[in-house]
Amino acid sequence: MPLPDASVLVLASYMHDTSVSVKDFPKPGETIMSLGYVEGPGGKGSNQAVQCALCGVATALIGTIGSDDAGAQALAFWAQNGIDASAIVRTRAAGTGRAAITVDGRGQNTIVVSPGANALTSVEDVERQVHLIERCAVLVAQLEIPRDTVHRAFGLARVHGRITVLNAAPADGPLSRDLLALTDYLIVNEGEACVLAEVADDPLVSAMALSRLVARGVVLTRGDNGAVLYRRDEDPVAKGALPVVAVDTTGAGDSLVGAFAARLAVTGEAVEALAWGVAAGSLACLKRGAASSYAAGQDIVRQVVRPG
């Protein structure tokens, strides 16, 4: 099925999340008792796709999951959210990705990812689905899948005039100049910006430097300080976070990326998309879990247009 004109294609990772709640993070070598745990769907790409769909935008996926129970749960979850997963590959060569998450009493989290089948998403997988790239408005990717695969997808998107959004996480070192040049909007948090720009202690300087290497702009996410859009030769645009008391910040950044991409697909306006992203990310902190905490488009837009 062809995608409609205002649609998002996500080159997506998927993780089966296990999240435990604790009062305080354990110290090295310390064993503590949890306050409870939950399991469910996660992974940056999948989370972002769910938020796109909740914003009312047609959403499709390219990615790889295992031929296991967790993979079957992923397919059911995407179907429930109206996401086109027909381009998802199931493999017996690796299990579905996993993530171990710890959430403390302040709503902060630590996450350890085992990529599993996500590491098998290949250049050939992307090339087989070029018809989806041809039809989407926005292509989104993260770094929980191989960088060569992202690079090929973004190259095809550039050929077909599609907008590319790269959430460069996790960031374990600088990106190639070629990949950055194929990226329209780069979305990073403060730590990731410093890693990518190799500026150790100043995320604002890092984001400005990165904005000169991408095609359109950099969105620097700043947690409870909101986010800032940097564009070459333009003044930065800042959007403050909503005044919420965080219960769990897991997946909040993915919510921001998804809402940003969804609104960008509809309007093409980065500043409006930034407002949607920040509002969505703030609302995602109000509930436990990742995609299960995400707000629908009608709830996001109420915050975007709120008085003041």
Q: How far apart, in whole angstroms, are the C-alpha atoms of residue 301 and residue 296?
A: 9
CB-CB contact of 261 with 138 (8 Å): yes
Enter the tokens of residue 38.
């939950």
CB-CB contact of 47 with 143 (8 Å): no
Residue scoring higher pLDDT (2 or 9): 9
Active site residue 24: no
Q: Is the peptide bond before 174 cis (omega within 30 degrees of 0)?
A: no
- Give yes or no for residue 289 having a pLDDT over 80: no
Question: Which pLDDT tens digit goes with each residue over 93-152?
Answer: 999 999 898 988 888 888 888 999 999 999 999 999 999 999 999 999 999 999 999 999
Mean per-residue pLDDT, 213-225: 96
- Please state whether 187 falls in left (phi above 0), alpha (psi between -120 and 50) or beta: beta
Enter the tokens of residue 13.
């990772």
CATH superfamily label, 7-25+34-184+243-301: Ribokinase (3.40.1190.20)
Enter the tokens of residue 183.
């990226």
Burial of 52 (0-12, 13-18, 19+ CB in 10 A): buried
CB-CB contact of 304 with 61 (8 Å): no
> Could you count the other beta carbons within 10 Å of the beta carbon of residue 246?
17
Predicted TM-score (pTM) of the model is 0.92
Residue scoring higher pLDDT (91 or 232): 91
Give the strands of the sheet with 15-21, arranged side by side: 36-42, 15-21, 97-103, 109-114
Enter the tokens of residue 78.
């995407």
Where does the pLDDT of residue 308 fall: very low under 50, low under 70, confident under 90, or very high at 90 and above?
very low
- Give yes or no for residue 37 having a pLDDT over 60: yes
Q: How far apart, in whole angstroms, are the C-alpha atoms of residue 61 and residue 132?
A: 9
CB-CB contact of 218 with 186 (8 Å): yes
Tokens 């990165």 label which residue? 210
Tokens 């990949």 label which residue? 179
- Of the residues 5, 104, 254, 299, which is catalytic? 254
- Give yes or no for residue 165 having a pLDDT over 90: yes
Phi, psi of 193, deg, nearest 5: -60, -45
- Give yes or no for residue 306 having a pLDDT over 90: no
- Give yes or no for residue 161 having a pLDDT over 90: yes
